[in-house]
Amino acid sequence: MEGLANIAYSDAHRALLAEFAAASEKQLSPQLEKIVHDISLVGVTCYPWDHLKQLLAYKLSLVLDDHNCRTPEMRFEEKRNTLLKQLQSFVDPPFTVQRLCELLVNPGLYSNTHKYLFAVDKVLLVTSTQQTLSPEAYDAQVQTLLANMGAIYASNKSDAELNRTKSESEESAFPQTQPDSSLGAALDSFTPTTVQVPILDASGASTTTTFTSGSPADSMDVVDDRSQATAGVTSAAESTTHQQFSSLASDASAMDVDNQKIDGDAMDVDKPAQ
């Protein structure tokens, strides 16, 4: 918004641009840099293209050299000269002149020379062009763009205020609840309790064990102790069952041996005498 408010046609800029294009030894000035910057914002121009493309070509050459010093590119001279020739070949501003100026104003958009060369080459591959506006048409275009940007800014600001008001209404309708401090007081005043827990021993007899809790956490200890006691009874019962099963298996094995002996004796009785 602030940058657009300072954009307007200038006779001084026009004269300075013509002087730059005719000079044998060229040098950039803040006023010339502003011309490139303005185009990057509005996308149109009101200065003679023959003079303006000399400025853009010189600026592009400087940016490419600086990029290549930091990240050298193979066949750099050949690629740079190809891009400069492409730019000089346009008889009118290319349709992508705004993007070209964005790349010149912000060369750090790409971290190395190869990517930057590719981006500029893509911009200059277009064939469509745009007209150079008259000073009056240029200023009107800038004012229209400024008005549109102002409307968008106002709309976004209004939406932000509406969302903030809605958020405040929701917060007032559903206030945040404070934590109940009575729970902490109840825990602090907790008194020990005694619990009688019936459990079974290994023989199956019922006994009673007394547990005393001194804090709420001890209640969980009671449950854990009872679980451990129950687990011990279960383990003892399983051991007893295993012993009984082993005894039964031994008795069955002994019975099988006796039966085999009886069968053998019977065969001996039935066998004829020799």
CA distances from 88 to 58, 81, 113 (A): 11, 11, 21
Closest to 78 (Cα-Cα) out of 90, 68, 93, 66: 68
Distance CA 117, CA 205 (A): 92
Helices (H), the chain: 2-5, 11-22, 30-42, 49-70, 76-88, 97-105, 113-124, 135-173, 182-188, 216-270
Cα gap 35→10, rounded to integer Å: 10
- Per-residue pLDDT tens over the stretch 80-131: 999 999 999 999 999 999 999 999 999 999 989 999 999 999 999 999 999 9
Q: What is the dihedral of CA 181, 187, 190, 194, to 10 degrees?
A: 140
Task: Decide: helix, strand or coil at residue 245.
Answer: helix
Q: How confident is the model at residue 167 (pLDDT cuts 50, 70, 90)?
A: confident
**Which pLDDT belongs to residue 148?**
86
Question: What's the pLDDT tens digit per position in 227-243?
Answer: 554 455 455 555 555 56
Of 45, 83, 40, which is closest to residue 61 (Cα–Cα)?
Answer: 83
Take residue 167 and report the two structure tokens written for it.
């958020």
Q: Is the pLDDT of residue 269 over 50?
A: no
Amino acid 161: pLDDT: 72
Task: Say whether pLDDT at 75 is over 90.
Answer: yes
